[in-house]
Amino acid sequence: MKTNIRMPYLILGAALSAVILTTQTSCTYNLFGKSATENNQLNTGNPVAGDDAASSTVKTSTGDTKGTTGTASGTGNSDSNGGPSDSTGKGTTDPGKSSVSTSANVQSSNQSAFIAFMRENAPSRTIKKKDGVVYVTNTDSPLVLVNKKRELESTYVPKDLVKANVGFSFSGDNPKQQLRQVAATALEKLFAGAKQDGIELKAVSGYRSYASQRSIFNNYAKKNGEEEANTFSAHPGQSEHQTGLAMDVSSASVKYDLDKSFGETKEGKWLKEHAADYGFIIRYELGKEDETGYMYEPWHIRYVGVFIAQEIKKKGETFEAYMAQF
């Protein structure tokens, strides 16, 4: 008799566990474009999911896909005859209500995990001071925030750099063709999506080492003066390119130059409209110079994950402003 009573609980428990695991995996994929296991390896923290991540639309080269939150229903408590019953012994348990409750609990769990992860990556919690310089500490996170006030150390090199399988504006092999694995995969999908829409993009410059950025900045400083150079070029250690999560993109319509006019081309407009669908943001938006520290760069895209990219786009915020709220 005890076996009959416990069996529905065991079945329900197994069903709930499967639902939660499936939903968290789906949400994590939508957040960073990777599975929960893969993302955990990339993030130095626990895999997370956003509150709305499971319902976010992700456009890929094979079409639009949507993550779905699973539901489960199970039997209620058993009475002496083994039938479903409520606490009064009456068979009134509603499987539909159980499904709604399960889905709500999963969503609440996902939201809590998302907030916890964002707080782990909050600007105020991811810095250390050394010799008067503020360095970031979450270098392996897709949400690492690098700017004029938050630097990467000169020795930092991403561990998972790969050559992005996209067209480049130059020939031959060059470190600038590299991105971190998660960003390279997302860029390949972005380029494929652009091609489907009749848009041809070329990648211009991805990863740059500390030494490479130092050479670039020094050349601009000699030509334009250090103060002016600092409005459009980063000091070494302050460049997003060193993170391996940023890529400069251009098109034949502007002769593959990195110029503001790119933003007015059909390619630039497409990129602004669709970058977030693949997990990228236009990092340095027009009119946000005081927040980002740099002039408008419609060609510079930065990987942050689909869910967060869409949130930043929807709110019209800078990466700095979005991260500051955590």
Tens of pLDDT, residue by residue over 56-101, are 333 333 333 333 333 333 344 433 334 444 444 444 456 666 677 7
Percent of the chain with pLDDT over 70: 70
Whether the per-residue pLDDT at 25 is higher than 90: the answer is no
Check: CB of residue 246 under 8 Å from CB of residue 162: no
The residue ranking higher by pLDDT, 39 or 200, is 200
Instruction: Give the number of C-alpha atoms closer than 13 A to the C-alpha of residue 188, restricted to the C-beta side.
Output: 15
Active site residue 297: yes
What integer best gives the mean pLDDT of the chain?
A: 80
Question: Using CA atoms, how far apart are residues 231 and 229, in angstroms rounded to an integer?
Answer: 5
The whole-angstrom separation of Cα 238 and Cα 20 is: 40
Tens digits of per-residue pLDDT, 249-295?
999 999 999 999 999 999 999 999 999 999 999 999 999 999 999 99
- Numbered ranges of CATH 3.30.1380.10 in the chain: 154-324
CA distance 300 to 34: 23
Mean pLDDT, to the nearest integer, of 219-232? 96
Residue 187: both structure tokens together: 């860029």
Q: Does residue 240 carry a pLDDT above 60?
A: yes
Which of 63, 36, 279 is closest to 179 using CA atoms? 279
C-alpha Rg value of the chain to the nearest Å: 24
Q: Can you give the pLDDT at residue 269?
A: 98
Residue-wise pLDDT for 130-182, tens only, equals: 999 999 999 999 999 999 999 999 999 999 999 999 999 999 999 999 999 99
Name the active-site residue from 297, 311, 317, 320: 297
- Say which residue, 192 or 55, is predicted with more confidence: 192
Q: How far apart are CA 246 and CA 132, in angstroms?
A: 27
What is the topology classification, in CATH, of domain 154-324? Muramoyl-pentapeptide Carboxypeptidase; domain 2 (3.30.1380)
pLDDT of residue 103: 81
